[in-house]
Amino acid sequence: MRMRAWSHYRFRSVWDLPAPPAAVYAALERAEEYPAWWPQVRSVTPLDEFSGVAVFRSFLPYALTVTAREKRRDPAAGVLEILMTGDLDGWARWTVGVLPGGGTHAVYDQEVEVRKPLMRLLALPGRPVFVANHAWMMRGGRRGLAAFLQPV
């Protein structure tokens, strides 16, 4: 398999949350507030109304920095989508819907090419660890958002 293939990732995470879809969408739409509830999102610095720079760090001792630009914001469809460049090049999309019986079904899809040199160098042996690192980050985000959305 070519190095490019080992550095290419597709992820899907599903967050079922007890909060209403409108509240979940509103929280996900405010990326600059992610560090308040998502421990692995270290910072989000807006550049303008449609873009910003985000820094992520999960349990591995390195940070990833990306510039994200809004591609789609559609509250009626429950879709938020961004394009990313930097240590990761690609896209990410939230799709927020209603859970049967109440609550929210939020699906996070992401497809990226890793550009960070160390991660590319370690693409083959590190892949299982990088996938586990992403899963841990997503679990932290789900727990954080669920707590953030709890009524006071």
Q: What is the pLDDT of residues 42-84, one digit of tens each?
A: 999 999 999 999 999 998 888 999 999 999 999 999 999 999 9
* pLDDT at residue 3 is higher than 80: no
* Residue-wise pLDDT tens digits, 120-139: 888 888 899 999 999 999 99
What is the enclosing helix (H) or strand (E) of 146? helix 123-148
What sign does the dihedral 111-115-116-122 (CA atoms) show?
Answer: positive
Rounded to whole angstroms, the Cα distance separating 25 from 97 reads: 9
- Give the largest CA-CA distance in the chain: 51
Task: Specify the number of domains making up the chain.
Answer: 1
Range of the domain at 86: 3-148
CATH number of the domain to which 127 belongs: 3.30.530.20
Stated pTM of the model = 0.92
